[in-house]
Amino acid sequence: MSESVWILISSLGAMLGGVAVGSWLRHRLPEHHLTGQATGIIKSGVGLISTLAALILGLLISTAKISYDSTATQVNQITSDLVLLDQLLATYGPAAHEAREPAAPTFSLTSDARCGVMPKCYHNLAG
């Protein structure tokens, strides 16, 4: 099993264990710990913890999105630069054929990757 499945199983086990321990302790606590004021304080604490957890998860997702967008932008910029370089070398004609030939597989791969993101792009790199 993968690591994420183990984390899921252990988290579920911890939650169910907490419910079981809480149910067991409820019958053993003195009455003054079960008043409305005590349960209100516990509810406020649980609300604070859940709000902080939601905030942390939101920041985590936001950071991952920013990282993905930054990497995608860099890949698109590099691909654009390679396509521009290939087109520039193509304008020089046969004199630049020796420079274009070793890089042709790279140009083809990067343009295919870019066209996967932007299907209407120009990728006639053979000519």
The band of 112, judged by pLDDT with boundaries at 50, 70 and 90, is low
Please indicate, yes or no, if residue 16 is contained in any of the structural domains. Answer: yes
Does residue 3 lie in a domain region? yes
In a domain, 21, yes or no: yes
Report d(CA 123, CA 79) in Å as an integer: 11
One-letter identity of residue 91: T
Residue 72 lies inside a defined structural domain of this protein:
no
In a domain? residue 44 = no
24 assigned to some structural domain: yes
pLDDT one-digit tens code per residue, 19-39:
999 889 888 888 888 788 988
Question: What DSSP element (H or E) covers 31?
Answer: none
Q: Are 87 and 118 in contact (CB under 8 A)?
A: no
- Print the domain residue range for 10: 1-31
Looking at per-residue pLDDT, the higher value among 64 and 2 belongs to: 64
> Would you say residue 113 lies in a domain?
no
Q: How many domains does the chain have?
A: 1
Tokens of 88: 């520039």
Residue 118 lies in a domain: no
